[in-house]
Structure 1
């Protein structure tokens, strides 16, 4: 499939940039890291650079049929508006187009935030973690009775299930996929199923849900010139149990997570959602590796780490054993 992928060039994007921004495009740099959209730095003959998001089949390593019929640009715009109105910093929006007239895909041009990622600053004492903590407090206090991605909730089309029911569905699907590929998980599948159902059944549903990013690792936070964290990859933002966000934060920030913790987190939810996310971080990367995702060693490292973390829920800390990854009967 890699030979079929064709990414955007200066020639492809020149007309879009000229009409949308009134600039002459000089160079294009495709930035690494995206799995559902292409991210390009646009450099002009004059003026500051910008960043282009392209939601095209050729940019989607999950497969052209993934989330078919859903507008990723629409999700991005709804989340961008919600964060902006809340005072949570996201890249400034310069142009959007979903018509396909200027480029055969949904596109958005945003501010090019050039201060690097928060991940690159984690060892410093520049106040960036404290400013991120302020954002998280604001998001945790921003509530909605609706549940689901920001756009559908705002349109009155939120999900009808509870958060624990949604997570249980995700986790059972991920478990099935992981068990079909990882022998050690296959051997413990029944134990995982019983544990997941038991955890979900012990959690009381809520009537209000917080605004969360969903995958807020230090690589999804850029730093602007004023030292303010800027959220990127916001299409998955949703109203949900705040614990889902904080499980991911704890996984990604490790020993630095206590600086980001908010008050009132439910530990039963945290434990259930942590198991669900470990299973997701096994099944998701393996789905990507079925295709032609380029950074294969990195993804396999994530898979191996989270196999061990998931197994610790049903057999204690994983200190070896059969972690063979392949195709096994689930």
Structure 2
């Protein structure tokens, strides 16, 4: 989008006395457009724009919010997640304006934690420690129901009978979808389905569900001027098994995960969710490559890395 496209939104969010000088499309975002707004007086803000033109995924219709893993996109999910995070004391960019298809938030200019870790791991240590506090705060906020925050906080219910059943069924669909796009998954289709069934059967019932971001990697954490972690891409916030969060944290933070680790995680759930996560990160990127996603090389790399992880989990080297 251009400055002319975004000028009305900027005027509504930032006031008529400011003039939009320019816009910069920011890195990332496969479901929404993310733009830095620059005003004539030096002020900046960030616009989130949800529209079919900004979404590289083919949903085949309107996503069902009662499905915990349906497409997490749109101002309603964003607003519910923003309000819940604010209520539990976990920082996310301050909301300046919310519209029917866009939002404007404060511009957190310290870069992502991913960038800081690459540039100066020592400087990132304090932010990692504070992120660990945020992860624990999320995990301490519990609900008897599971599902998207927008659904649960409104008193609604989600599809399925348990988090484990939802994860298993989704992983089985990912196996079938990935098998149709890569012969290496097709060769282990039955083995993967059988392993998912055994892993799910080993999990004991649970009635407490924690607040989880869902995709909390270092690229989804901005660093404020005071070093505080600021969570972004929060639309997928949901109540779920906390192990779902931690298999993703373990994958994305690698050697830094120890700063985020918490005691008491369920090993059976970790084993199921770890395999399911890698299957999702094969099927999803391969599906995205069917469209016109601009960074195809990165998506192929993600799919290939996770495909190798799937194979290693199914057939570990002795």
CA distance in 1, matches of 2:189, 2:97: 48
1:305 CA displacement: 0.7
Instruction: Identify the range of structure 1 (60-69 vs 124-133) with the bigger mean alpha-carbon deviation.
Output: 60-69
CA distance in 2, matches of 1:58, 1:205: 42
1:47 CA displacement: 4.4
Residue 82 of structure 1 is aligned with which of 81, 84, 97? 84
CA distance in 2, matches of 1:151, 1:69: 12
Task: Provide the residue aligned with 2:11 in structure 1.
Answer: 18
| Structure 2 residue 139 is matched with structure 1 residue 128 | no
Where in structure 2 are the equivalents of 1:140-289 lying within 5 Å?
A: 140-159=139-158, 160-289=160-289
1:68 CA displacement: 4.2
Instruction: Identify the range of structure 1 (187-196 vs 117-126) with the bigger mean alpha-carbon deviation.
Output: 117-126
Length, aligned pairs only? 304
Q: Deviations over 1:203-228 (max 9, x none)?
A: 12211100000000000000001100
SS in 1 for 2:216: coil
CA 139–52 in structure 1, closer or farther in 2 if over 3 Å, else same: same
Q: Deviations over 1:156-197 (max 9, x none)?
A: 112142010010111011110111111111111111111101
Task: Provide the residue aligned with 1:138 in structure 2.
Answer: 137
SS in 2 for 1:110: strand
CA distance in 2, matches of 1:111, 1:244: 29
- Unaligned stretches of 5+ in structure 2? 66-72
Task: Provide the residue aligned with 1:32 in structure 2.
Answer: 27
CA distance in 2, matches of 1:15, 1:136: 37
1:82 CA displacement: 0.5
TM-score by length of 2: 0.92
Task: Provide the residue aligned with 2:74 in structure 1.
Answer: 72
TM-score by length of 1: 0.89
| Structure 2 residue 9 is matched with structure 1 residue 9 | no
SS in 2 for 1:53: strand
Q: Is the 8 A contact 1:146 1:156 kept in 2?
A: no
SS in 1 for 2:96: strand
- Unaligned stretches of 5+ in structure 1? 1-7, 99-105, 319-330
Q: Deviations over 1:118-140 (max 9, x none)?
A: 11222224411110000011111
SS in 2 for 1:26: strand
SS in 1 for 2:49: strand
CA distance in 1, matches of 2:210, 2:198: 24
CA distance in 2, matches of 1:143, 1:19: 36
